[in-house]
Structure formats: C-alpha cells, structure tokens
Amino acid sequence: MSDFAERVRDGSAVVGIIGLGYVGIPLALRVKEVGLPVLGFDIDADRVAALNIGQSPIRHISDDRIASMRANGFEATDDFVRVAECDALLICVPTPLDKTREPDLSFVTATMEAIAPHLRDGQMISLESTTWPGTTREILLPYLERAGHVAGETAYLVYSPEREDPGNRAFNTQTIPKIVGGYTPACLKAGLALYGAFIDKVVPVSSTDAAEMVKLLENIHRSINIGMVNEMKVLTDRMGLDLFEIVDAAATKPFGFTPYYPGPGIGGHCIPIDPFYLTWKAREYGLHTRFIELAGEINAGMPRYVVDKVVRALNGAGKSLKGAKILALGIAYKRDVDDMRESPSVFVMEHLRDWGAALSYSDPNVPVFPTMREHQFDLASIDLTPETLAGFDAVILLTDHTDFDYDMIRQHAPLIIDTRGKFREGSDKIVRA
C-alpha cells in the first residue's frame, strides 16, 4: 500500500476511469485538475473519438473543458489491454434493471471480464456504480482471485458510490463528500489515499457492503418522500387544493421538515432503479420491503395519472385524445440537463402515442430524441413561438427548464397541463397534474 499511496502523493499514479458518461467524465475532469494522469475507457468508439478531439457528449459540460483536459494529457480509449498502464481503475458503468425489475449487472461483469486478464500487482479497483450490498465482495472479488490476486495484499478492492447530480450548480465532484469502503483495512487505506487527493471530504465506512447500503439508503429516502408527495398531489387535487402551495408553506418550518415536490413521476439513473436493488436483495433474507415497493409503485403510476388529466382536460374542451395535437414541454428527467435516463416524460409520451395522440416535443437541451434501450421516437425538438403554441390542442409541462418562456406559453397555449407547479394562478385553461 505504501507504494500506491506514494504514487498518489507524488502525482504519478495513473487513474483509469471505465465508463465515460455522466459519472465518469466529471470524475475524469476533477482527477485531471489535481494533476494526476487520467486514461478513460469506454466501449462506445464514437464517444471515445469525440472526447479525443475535445468534444463533450454532455450538454452541461462544455467542449472547452474537454479540450483543456485533452490538452493536459487526457486520453480516451476502447482498448482494455491498456488497463495495465493504470494504478487505479474506477468503474462507472450502468447498473440498470431488467424487464422483471431484477438487477442487471451485465455491464459490471463485462467490465471485469475485459480488465481481469490485464490486471497487475499493486492496482486499486473501485466500483462506483450503484448496486446491492455484497456486489463488490460477491461479484468483483472472485474476478481478482481468479486472476491470481489477493485483495489487500497484491491488489486493493474498494466500493465508493458516485454522487453526481447533473446540472447542480451548488455542488460538484470536488465538493460532494465521498463514501469509501474497502474490502480490507489496506484496501480502505488505498481508497482514502486516492479519493482524498481530489475530493474535499472523504467519509470512510467499515466495509464495501456498508458503502453499497449507504448509496441505496440515500436514494430510497428520496424515492419514498417523492412517492408520498405524489400520492398527496392526487389527494389534494381531488380536494381542490394546491400541493405546491402547501409544500412551500410547510417548508417555512425551520426543523423537522424537508420539502419534496411532486411531478409526472421520477427519473434519472438512481431513484427509479436503486430501491429495487435492495428489495431484490432483501428476498435473500426472507424479507419483503413493502414500504420501498409501495413508493416505487406510486411513482411508476404517475405518468398514467398525467395522461388521465390530459384526457379529462381535452374532454372539457370538447376534444378527443385520439388525433389531438399534443406538445410535450421538457423530456429530460430533470431541469436544465440533457439526461434522458428513465425520464417520466418518455413514459407519458408513450401512453399518449398508444392512445393515438399526434405528439411533438420541445426541449432546448435535447435537440433530437436520442436512441434509448427501450424507448424510441422519431422526433426533434421544435422551437417555441406564439404560432407553434397556438397550433396545439394541449401543451404538457413535464420538465420545467429555465430556458422556457413561461409568460409566452401561458399567453398562447390554448390548454396547459402543468405537472411542475409553474403556473400557479387560477385559469380555465391551466390544469394541474
């Protein structure tokens, strides 16, 4: 371990980052900022080529930042033989659910199969992808052992969950505290040495299992609270009350209350997925995590609730959903990003398409609907003008980007279904959803 820590301290430790997406790229930028050599790995040859000419695949990260990192020695590659050049390997690959909501670790196992033949003594391997407690110990450790390594002696095995929040201007990779768990005390020391070199605050925990559970608890906390306010939205709407007003008022309490706001569902790479990693693992212990699954059920049902509100709003205007011209405003999963992963907007759009609506969308962050594993629309973003707005039967606000001109939308859209609480005044043409 002393050799590894010394290489980190003297700035010669080469950091390999596997998976150059919303987690891996910010991580690479931060590691390069402190002067450590960085080698990026990805199986997407087009992404590798773009990064190597200074192009960013992520909207909120500028080309200039990628070009600067590249000029300072960063290189991306799809050649996994080169993992032998690295002193640390940080794995930032997707961990989705399959169609039956079972954990899909195929990206993790494929990564380990690709790198295992090229591992050498003294390297640190850290998994950052969200997963169930025990993954590092049960899945990654055997790959190391089959390659002839002893964790804590000839190699260091760590779990340190990513905490990226795309578009968050208050926190970044440097300032978000980093949880680190090691398979052995020596592994933990290696993890603390590396992450402490470029993260302001590193928080050690007792094991990789504990670190894996920390990440799940964080996102289950959010899932349950969002599920609660989404359920309350349905109730308060039936009662003629505005839940956004109520949450704002409750948030004035200086203790004991954290505001969460409703929406058309939940999206992103964490909250819709991570809780089910724990519910799956709990079954191994003969437990049924009803509270977690109920929140997931409520959140998953919100797109259908939104569509029902659209149907009712159109009926009130004397129109049918079939053949209606519908404009979806915002299709990214959260405000001011281009991240489409698990976006509830897409589920709303699919339901509307299934019922025969003529769909368009406008999103300044997503100019063309991207290729997705399970969803596809042959659409491109349209520009918002008074004329285009007036040509639709209904406009659904799904993601409240700050670039939208809400005054123009209010004035020229004939019917607005608002899932984000942006149009708070009473109006016959504004429907809360």
CB distance 364 to 372 below 8 Å: no
Note whether 265 and 300 are within 8 A (CB). yes
> Could you tell me if 310 and 271 are in contact, meaning their C-beta atoms sit under 8 angstroms apart?
no
Asked about 187 being catalytic, the answer comes back as no
Residue 90: CA count within 13 A, CB half-sphere: 27
DSSP state of 380: B
Looking at 86, 92, 187, 270, which residue is catalytic?
270
Report the relative pairing of strands 430-432 and 394-397 from DSSP bridges.
unpaired
Pair 157, 183: CB distance under 8 Å: yes
Question: Token digits for 110?
Answer: 């494929």
Give the C-alpha distances (Å, rounded to integers) separating 402 from 309, 344, 363, 410, 416: 24, 18, 11, 15, 17
**Residues β-bridged to residue 329:** 362, 397
Q: Distance of CA 281 to CAs 103, 131, 140, 276, 292, Å?
A: 9, 10, 17, 8, 13
CB burial of residue 387 (10 Å; 0-12, 13-18, 19+) = exposed
> Which residue in 302, 292, 304, 229 sits closest to 101, CA to CA?
292
Phi/psi for 418 (5° steps) reads -105, 110
Instruction: Give the catalytic positions in this structure.
Output: 270
